[in-house]
A and B are shown apart, each in its own frame.
Chain A
Amino acid sequence: MKLELRGITKRFGDFTANDRIDLLVEPGTVHALLGENGAGKSTLMNVLFGLYDADEGEVLLDDAPVVFTGPGDAMAAGIGMVHQHFMLVHPFTVAENVMLGHEDVRGPAKLLDLAAARRKVREISDRFNFNVDPDAVIEDLPVGAQQRVEIIKALSRDASILILDEPTAVLTPQETDELLGIVKDLRDAGTSVVLITHKLREVKAVADTITVIRRGKVVGTAEPSASQEELASLMVGRAVTMRVDKAPATPGETMLQVDGLTVVDDAQVVQLDGVSFDVKAGEILAIAGVQGNGQTELTEALLGVVGTDAGTATLDGELITGRSIKDVLFSGIGFVPEDRTEDGIVATMTIANNLMLDTHDKAPYAKGFALQPKAIADEARKHVEQFDVRATSIEQTAGSLSGGNQQKVVLARELSRPLKLLIASNPTRGLDVGSIEFVHKRIVAERDAGAAVIIVSAELDEVVALADRIAVMYHGRIVGIVPPDTDRDTLGLMMAGAHQEEAA
Chain B
Amino acid sequence: MTATVADAAPAASTAPVAAKTWRSTIALAVIAVLSLVIFGLGTGSGSTTTFVVARGTDFVHLPDFTVPSRVAAIVLSLVGLALAGWTGYRANQRRKVGLWLPIVYGMAIMGALLTWAGAGRDATSIQLTGLLTSSLFLAVPLVFGALAGTLCERSGIVNIAIEGQLLAGAFLAALVGSIAGNAYVGLIAAPIAGALVGLVLAIFATKYWVNQIVVGVVLNMLIVGLTSFFFSTVMTENGDLNQPLGMAKLPIPLLSKIPVLGPVLFNQNLLVYLLYVAVAVMQVMLFRSRWGLRVRAVGEHPKAADTVGINVNRTRVRNTVLGGAIAGLGGAFFTVASGLAFGKEMTAGKGYIALAAMILGRWSPRGALAAALLFGFADALRAQLGAIGSPIPSQFLAMTPYLATIFAVAGLVGHSRPPAAEGVPYKK
Instruction: List residues of A whose CB falls within 8 A of some B CB.
Output: 49, 51, 70-73, 75-76, 81, 83, 87-92, 96-97, 99-103, 105, 109-112, 131, 139-140, 142-145, 153, 171-172, 174-175, 177-178, 264, 267-270, 273, 290-293, 474-476, 489, 492-493, 495-498
With contacts A90-B420, A496-B8 known, what are 18 further pairs, Cβ within 8 A?
A71-B309, A72-B309, A73-B309, A75-B308, A83-B307, A87-B304, A89-B296, A92-B297, A97-B304, A100-B310, A105-B290, A140-B14, A142-B12, A269-B19, A270-B16, A293-B12, A476-B16, A497-B8
A172 to B307, CA, bound (A): 27
Task: Report B252-269 CB contacts with A as 1/0, cut-off 8 Å.
Answer: 000000000000000000
Complex contact A292–B304 (CB within 8 A): no
A497 to B11, CA, bound (A): 10
A73 to B271, CA, bound (A): 44
Tell me the nearest residue of chain A to B304, going by C-beta. A87
Task: Report B12-33 CB contacts with A as 1/0, cut-off 8 Å.
Answer: 1111111111000000000000
Complex contact B309–A70 (CB within 8 A): yes
Instruction: List residues of B whose CB falls within 8 A of some A CB.
Output: 2-3, 5-21, 284-285, 288-291, 293-294, 296-297, 300-301, 303-310, 415, 417, 420, 428
A291 to B5, CA, bound (A): 17
Q: List 12 A-B contacts (CB under 8 A).
A: A49-B307, A75-B309, A89-B300, A91-B296, A96-B293, A102-B309, A112-B293, A174-B9, A264-B19, A268-B20, A269-B19, A496-B9
Contact partner, B10, options A75, A99, A493, A496, Cβ 8 Å: A496
Complex contact A267–B12 (CB within 8 A): no
A496 to B8, CA, bound (A): 7
Tell me the nearest residue of chain A to B94, going by C-beta. A268
A459 to B283, CA, bound (A): 46
State whether A290 and B9 are in contact (beta carbons under 8 Å apart), knowing that A110-B290, A269-B16, A270-B19 are contacts in the complex: yes
Residues on the A chain within 8 Å of B307, using CB: 49, 51, 71, 81, 83, 87
Residues on the A chain within 8 Å of B2, using CB: 174, 177, 489, 493
Tell me the nearest residue of chain B to A498, going by C-beta. B5
Contact partner, A111, options B9, B288, B304, Cβ 8 Å: B288
Tell me the nearest residue of chain B to A502, going by C-beta. B5
State whether A172 and B297 are in contact (beta carbons under 8 Å apart), knowing that A71-B306, A112-B288 are contacts in the complex: no
CB distance from A104 to the nearest CB of B (A): 9
State whether A496 and B5 are in contact (beta carbons under 8 Å apart), knowing that A143-B10, A143-B12 are contacts in the complex: yes
Residues on the A chain within 8 Å of B290, using CB: 103, 105, 110-112
State whether A100 and B9 are in contact (beta carbons under 8 Å apart), knowing that A70-B309, A270-B17 are contacts in the complex: no
A497 to B12, CA, bound (A): 11
CB distance from B10 to the nearest CB of A (A): 4
Residues on the A chain within 8 Å of B420, using CB: 90
Contact partner, A496, options B6, B13, B303, Cβ 8 Å: B6
Contact partner, B284, options A109, A476, A489, Cβ 8 Å: A109
Complex contact A269–B8 (CB within 8 A): no
Contact partner, B301, options A90, A99, A112, Cβ 8 Å: A90
A105 to B292, CA, bound (A): 12
Residues on the A chain within 8 Å of B415, using CB: 267
Complex contact A292–B13 (CB within 8 A): yes
Complex contact B289–A269 (CB within 8 A): no
Complex contact B308–A174 (CB within 8 A): no
Complex contact B6–A175 (CB within 8 A): yes
Complex contact B293–A290 (CB within 8 A): no
Tell me the nearest residue of chain A to B419, going by C-beta. A91
A139 to B420, CA, bound (A): 13
CB distance from B128 to the nearest CB of A (A): 38
CB distance from B365 to the nearest CB of A (A): 15
State whether A497 and B16 are in contact (beta carbons under 8 Å apart), knowing that A90-B301, A110-B291 are contacts in the complex: no
CB distance from A205 to the nearest CB of B (A): 15
CB distance from B154 to the nearest CB of A (A): 11
Complex contact B14–A88 (CB within 8 A): no
CB distance from A486 to the nearest CB of B (A): 16
A404 to B143, CA, bound (A): 54
Complex contact A144–B285 (CB within 8 A): no
A169 to B297, CA, bound (A): 25
Complex contact A144–B16 (CB within 8 A): no
Complex contact B15–A267 (CB within 8 A): yes
Complex contact A101–B309 (CB within 8 A): yes
A131 to B9, CA, bound (A): 14
CB distance from B407 to the nearest CB of A (A): 18
CB distance from B7 to the nearest CB of A (A): 6
Residues on the A chain within 8 Å of B7, using CB: 131, 142, 144-145
A293 to B308, CA, bound (A): 31
A178 to B5, CA, bound (A): 12
A4 to B420, CA, bound (A): 38
A318 to B12, CA, bound (A): 33
CB distance from A134 to the nearest CB of B (A): 15
Tell me the nearest residue of chain B to A49, going by C-beta. B307
A493 to B9, CA, bound (A): 9
CB distance from A44 to the nearest CB of B (A): 16
Complex contact B304–A88 (CB within 8 A): yes
Complex contact B9–A495 (CB within 8 A): yes
Tell me the nearest residue of chain A to B299, going by C-beta. A89
State whether A100 and B19 are in contact (beta carbons under 8 Å apart), knowing that A83-B307, A174-B6, A290-B9 are contacts in the complex: no
Residues on the A chain within 8 Å of B288, using CB: 111-112
CB distance from B120 to the nearest CB of A (A): 46
A152 to B264, CA, bound (A): 51
Complex contact B16–A273 (CB within 8 A): yes
From A49, A81, A498, residue with most partner B Cβ within 10 Å: A498
Complex contact A89–B297 (CB within 8 A): yes
Complex contact A178–B6 (CB within 8 A): yes
A474 to B7, CA, bound (A): 14
A143 to B291, CA, bound (A): 28
Tell me the nearest residue of chain B to A496, going by C-beta. B9
A90 to B310, CA, bound (A): 17
Residues on the B chain within 8 Å of A101, using CB: 294, 305, 308-310
A492 to B1, CA, bound (A): 13
Tell me the nearest residue of chain A to B291, going by C-beta. A110
A1 to B303, CA, bound (A): 27
Residues on the A chain within 8 Å of B17, using CB: 269-270, 273
Complex contact A71–B308 (CB within 8 A): yes
CB distance from B419 to the nearest CB of A (A): 9
State whether A142 and B9 are in contact (beta carbons under 8 Å apart), knowing that A75-B308, A103-B293 are contacts in the complex: yes
Tell me the nearest residue of chain B to A176, going by C-beta. B6
Residues on the A chain within 8 Å of B5, using CB: 174, 493, 496-498
Residues on the B chain within 8 Å of A145, using CB: 7
CB distance from B294 to the nearest CB of A (A): 7
Residues on the B chain within 8 Å of A174, using CB: 2-3, 5-6, 9
